[in-house]
Amino acid sequence: MKFLRRASYDLCVILSRGRRIFSREMSFASTAVRKKALHRVYPECCRRVQGDRYANSCASHSRRNRAFIPILCCLIVTLTSPLVLGQERTPTGVGAGSESDRTVEVIRPTIQTIQRDIEVPIEVLPYQQVSLFAKVSGYLDRIGYDIGDEVEAGERIAVLKLPELESQRARELAEVDLRRAEYTVAEARSKVDKLLYERLIKVLSESPDMVSQEQVDEAAQKSAVSEAQLAVLQNRIKVAQAKVRETEQMIAYGKIDAPFSGIITYRYVDPGALIQAATSGANVTPIVDLVDISKLRLRGHIPAPESPYLDIGDRVVITISELPSEVIEGRVSRHSWALQRGSRKLLAEVMVDNSDRRLRPGMMGKAIFFLEEIPQAILLPSEAVGTGEESRFVYVVKDHVINRTPVVLAMDDGIMAQVVEGLQGDELVLASAQVGVNEGERVRERVISGE
């Protein structure tokens, strides 16, 4: 109907313009030409003015003109229809609900309190673990524990036989005795020299003619030398005693004691085996492995984007692959504060009690770290958020027109995305940013659930 109305309007305009042009041309034409034209256009007037003779002639001309009018109308409609149709296809702006608008699916953002969390793999490690080596070389004399045995802190696990060190200690003890004997002789000599010096001084004071001053000075010097030698021998005794203590300490390293209470998880050697000192090289065999599993360390690595939100005391829910029916709850005990250079992740640790020994070091599992609670968070399906060259964006439909709106996301887990800038929460957003639409395009929206 709109097309027909427009076509009729264009036809009337063309006919009106034709009459004006015809009247202007007639004013300049001669009388004969004007009369001939009047006969063709106004046959009734010719009939009243000039009679039947001219009327019949005018009627024949009128019939030819009336036969030509439908052809002229068809030609005008044919020529003007592309223009009319082109005006009908002029882009959006005719009004909402026009036949050219298409229907798109839109959603409203969800506003709710959310819990930021992340699930990461975790490894179960003992609270303490150590491989016990020998500091000195020797033969394993005896070992009192095997795999799975429990030991208390301070209990002796193994003893080494150290013949070389035993001989060295005997030699050093003999040297100490020798130094002590030398000191005893020097001490006696020092006493004699001192006594002689004191007597000479007394004689010199009572009978100056019986002793010279040179004899007194010589005795004084000899007494001083004896005192110095006595001090040297005393220091030599201390050096010899220090060597004995050092050797005894090395011998003590041949006794392997438990540094803490735990369980022997592996035994590497048997009695009679030659044990190399741990400082002798890289390929040194330990004696046993000892672990403390009364408590366990559950370690996970938090990716860099979530690391700023991790705090000591955050709640953690843990499931172990080997015990799928059990759920363990704990708190973050400590974390490294610095991202690891290679993985760019933050090491986090959860301490759990293992007095029942249900958990075993080496088990693997998953842990959900609850990082923070965010009230009034604006959420959209990840599919509704597009990625541009410089930023993320969504398509917002307002007044039936599509607008591309940049947004800033706090997180996007591939299912839901949290918008922190760009939306108020009451907009109508295109359900999929991948739909081929253009900014400014007019559409009809159909609201669907965004959950």
Q: What is the pTM of this model?
A: 0.58
CA distances from 154 to 59, 137, 246, 251, 345 (A): 138, 22, 22, 17, 38
Tell me the average pLDDT of the chain.
81
Q: What's the pLDDT tens digit per position in 223-268?
A: 889 889 999 999 999 999 999 999 999 999 999 999 999 999 999 9
Domain ranges of the chain: 2-88, 103-112+375-447, 134-159+257-286, 163-253, 293-373
Report the alpha-carbon distance of residue 359 to residue 158 in Å, rounded: 29
Between CA 432 and CA 435 the distance in angstroms is 6
Asked if 432 contacts 398 with a C-beta cutoff of 8 angstroms, the reply is no
CA 361, CA 266: separation in Å to the nearest integer? Answer: 13
Output 215 or 118, whichever has higher pLDDT: 118
pLDDT greater than 60 at residue 379: yes
134-159+257-286 is classed in which CATH architecture?
Answer: Beta Barrel (2.40)
pLDDT at 451 (0 to 100): 57
- Residue 254's alpha-carbon distances to 131, 150, 245, 442, in angstroms, are 15, 21, 15, 89
Residues 103-112+375-447, CATH architecture: Beta Barrel (2.40)
> What tens digit of pLDDT does each residue of 5-29 get?
455 545 544 555 554 444 444 444 4
Band the pLDDT of 373: cuts 50, 70, 90: confident
* Domain 293-373: homologous superfamily in CATH: Efflux pump adaptor protein, beta barrel domain (2.40.30.170)
The pLDDT tens digits of the residues spanning 393-420 come to 999 999 999 999 999 998 888 899 999 9
Tens of pLDDT, residue by residue over 241-251, are 999 999 999 99
